[in-house]
Amino acid sequence: MSKATTMTTAAGNGIGDNQNSLTAGPRGPVLMADYQLMEKMAHFNRERVPERVVHAKGAGAYGKFTVTHDISKYTCAQIFSKVGNSCETFARFSTVAGELGSPDTARDPRGFAVKFYTADGNWDMVGNNTPVFFIRDALKFSDFIHSQKRDPRSGMRDATMQWDFWSLSPESLHQITTLFSDRGIPKTLRHMNGYGSHTFSLWNAKGERYWVKWHFKTMQGNKTLTQAEANKIAGEDLDHHRRDLFTAIENGDFPKWTVMVQIMPERDAETYAIHPFDVTKVWPHADYPLQEVGVLELNRNPQNYFAEVEQAAFEPGNLPRGMGASPDKMLQARILSYPDAHRYRIGVNYAALEVNKPRIPVQHYHRDGATRFDGNSGSAVNYQPNSFGGPVDVAAYKEPPLRISGDADRYDHRAGNDDYQQAGALYRLMSAEQKRQLIANLVGALQGVPEFIQVRQLKHFYQADPAYGQGVAEGLGIALNKVI
């Protein structure tokens, strides 16, 4: 047993009694002067920070990323400068729609966020376990999330809201097909892939830019839960996935992912048949093959869940030299919305928290703000330009210029888009058993939804693949002539 140390107040004053309140006589009222009681209750009342609006329920762990293959011709990012380079990482996996106490085995995409503490500053990959997303324009994001969360009147989640929105948003079909497939509920967080989902960029010292898709392939194998298995576990252990990851790491069974990229030269984007900045689409592997880059291993559990997992703040805009974003509309909006959410949720100095701060010195002119808990840059000069040796911008960190064209306008993102081909391709690559599960899961989820919405959604399934539409229609008992 460890030797007990003296308990103190937050100010360091020793505490003589943490069992009994200060009262006027043994049965008398509690005195206002019981500072310790007041401090204890007041702190307790403030223990929770607002939970994330999305991705509230998560699990996190530290690890290591090691570069195994050379991609230095595409990027001058320090981490990729030579094979064998490595850096510490912190990963957080999460469900999307459920609240902090929700079951881990819900059918939902999983957030797959990784912070790479590189020697050139932090690189955050804030992805999902699916390569695509439900919408392609962030103007629809809060509408989409409202439709998946709770009904404003009943306070309950509601299939009609979900399918009303989805059936009116055909760009969601590819992601719906992924979500209701067997991969929609991973067996554990170790048995799922991760994807950057958006197109990002890499650029080299010659100023050449390449578009890139990031893939994290599980080395444990893709394993899934059926809806029935997931329902059973949800009734027994809400924290099933969190527990599995924590226990595996405690036992030295470290999960690993092979990190891979698809690379597209900058100018290909102008002629490639598939819109390369549309997050509802993948790049078929036959067009842009996967190339191995490195290995991600998770090998250390946090010491404190709140400090390290709840306060972890990932930002798709954290991109060191040699890496960049892309014109993907969803990504552009996420570059704003993630840090904005962190400022609201944990405060303006969130980036200085231990789990979030880079492993190299930070030098900027941000000062002050609520709960400035570090030295606030001490007496250093707080404006730029200055004559007193403050940090300066260095041109070598500038991204190469990006060619853009066109008039600023609100372009219809649904016009001229094929939302069916890739959803159909996914359906067709599934085994007979996977197709059976997909259709059964969809039939279950569409139960009780008004028929006009069911029919509107069935038309999408049918357009992706007639057998897909027919299977769900049969399961729902809807005649095919209402769909075709």
The catalytic site residues sit at 55, 128
Of positions 422, 441, 454, 463, contacts ligand NDP by CB under 6 A = 422
- When asked if residue 217 is in the footprint of ligand NDP (CB under 6 A), the reply is yes
- When asked if residue 442 is in the footprint of ligand NDP (CB under 6 A), the reply is no
Three-point CA angle 222, 228, 229, nearest 5°: 50
Which of 113, 282 has the CB closer to ligand NDP? 282
* 88 neighbors 300 (Cβ within 8 angstroms): no
Which of 64, 183 has the CB closer to ligand NDP? 183
Which of 313, 438 has the CB closer to ligand NDP? 438
Minimal distance, residue 82 CB to ligand NDP, in Å: 27
- When asked if residue 425 is in the footprint of ligand NDP (CB under 6 A), the reply is yes
Which of 263, 312 has the CB closer to ligand NDP? 263
Of positions 285, 364, 398, 436, contacts ligand NDP by CB under 6 A = 285
Minimal distance, residue 229 CB to ligand NDP, in Å: 16
- When asked if residue 220 is in the footprint of ligand NDP (CB under 6 A), the reply is no
Three-class SS of residue 266? helix
- When asked if residue 182 is in the footprint of ligand NDP (CB under 6 A), the reply is yes
Report the C-alpha gap between 278 and 185 in whole angstroms: 25
Structure-token match 């980036």, residue found:
351
Name the segment binding ligand NDP (CB under 6 A); options: 5-13, 203-211, 308-316, 425-433.
425-433
Question: How many residues touch ligand NDP (CB under 6 A)?
Answer: 19
- When asked if residue 437 is in the footprint of ligand NDP (CB under 6 A), the reply is no
Name the segment binding ligand NDP (CB under 6 A); options: 196-204, 276-284, 307-315, 357-365.
276-284
- When asked if residue 172 is in the footprint of ligand NDP (CB under 6 A), the reply is no
- When asked if residue 199 is in the footprint of ligand NDP (CB under 6 A), the reply is no
Of positions 78, 81, 222, 417, contacts ligand NDP by CB under 6 A = 222
Name the segment binding ligand NDP (CB under 6 A); options: 137-145, 174-182, 234-242, 402-410.
174-182
Which of 282, 293 has the CB closer to ligand NDP? 282
- When asked if residue 301 is in the footprint of ligand NDP (CB under 6 A), the reply is no
Structure-token match 């969190």, residue found:
242
- When asked if residue 470 is in the footprint of ligand NDP (CB under 6 A), the reply is no
Of positions 22, 219, 234, 430, contacts ligand NDP by CB under 6 A = 430
Minimal distance, residue 64 CB to ligand NDP, in Å: 22
Binders of ligand NDP among residues 357 to 416 (CB under 6 A) are none
Of positions 98, 109, 131, 194, contacts ligand NDP by CB under 6 A = 131
- When asked if residue 291 is in the footprint of ligand NDP (CB under 6 A), the reply is no
The binding site for ligand NDP (CB under 6 A) comprises 131, 178, 181-183, 193, 217, 222, 282-286, 422, 425-426, 429-430, 434
